[in-house]
Amino acid sequence: MVRKLMLLSTILIFLAAPACFAQEMETMDEMLEFTFGTLVRVSDDSITIMEYNFEEEKEMEQVYAVTEATEFVNVANLSALKIGEEIEIEFKVKDGQKVAMAIAKDDETTEELEEITEDVAEEEAPAE
């Protein structure tokens, strides 16, 4: 009797394992990836940033699709982004394309860039 119960338990475990594994894979597919970089181009449905590519070991331009579902943090919308700003992106890969789910602009970074620009302008200004 004990043997039959152990055999039945083993069979049930092996039958349930693929279903559990498939469910875990679906969850992994839904996970977001993260990147950051300098904004290079903006269009109606995409943005391009200069980001570090760890596989190539160099900075490269990367395009991210922007959809109606894309959320914006610390920036009103796509048209409010400015070339040269540092941004962060959470994205998913769908059908081989990187799709931005959230785009964030760090206010502190923007303020620091403005301060640096002002400092450089003051240093380059001719003394009176």
Using one digit for the tens of pLDDT, what is the confidence trace for 3-56?
665 655 566 566 665 655 545 444 545 689 999 999 999 999 999 999 998 899
Q: Is residue 24 located within the same domain as residue 69? A: no
CA distances 70 to 4, 46, 104, 112, Å, are 55, 11, 11, 26
Q: If DSSP codes are grouped into helix, strand and coil, which group holds residue 95?
A: coil
**Residue 42 sits in the same domain as residue 104:** yes
Residues 103, 15: Cα–Cα separation, whole Å? 42
Any domain includes 82: yes
Instruction: Verify that 5 and 54 share a domain, yes or no.
Output: no
- In a domain? residue 62: yes
Alpha-helix residue ranges (DSSP H) falling in 30-70: none
End-to-end CA distance of the chain: 101
Question: Same structural domain for residues 102 and 77?
Answer: yes
pLDDT, residue 21, reads: 52
Q: How many domains does the chain have?
A: 2
Query: 25: domain range?
Result: 1-31
**Domain shared by 38 and 26, yes or no:** no
Task: Note whether 97 and 68 are same-domain residues.
Answer: yes
The pLDDT value given to residue 31:
81
Q: Enter the pTM of the model.
A: 0.63
| Res 100 pLDDT > 50 | yes
pLDDT at residue 116 greater than cutoff 70: no
Residue with tokens 């200069």: 50
Give domain status of residue 127, yes or no.
no
Euclidean distance between CA atoms 108 and 13, whole angstroms: 52
Q: How many percent of the chain have pLDDT more than 90? A: 53
Look up the CATH number of the domain holding residue 91.
Answer: 2.40.50.320
Mean pLDDT, the chain, whole residue set = 79
CB proximity list for 72: less than 8 A, separation 6 or greater = 78, 80, 102, 103, 104
Residue 128 lies in a domain: no
Residue 43 identity (one-letter amino acid): S
Same domain, 116 and 82: yes
Q: Is residue 43 part of a domain?
A: yes
pLDDT band at 120; cut points 50, 70, 90: low
Same domain, 71 and 112: yes
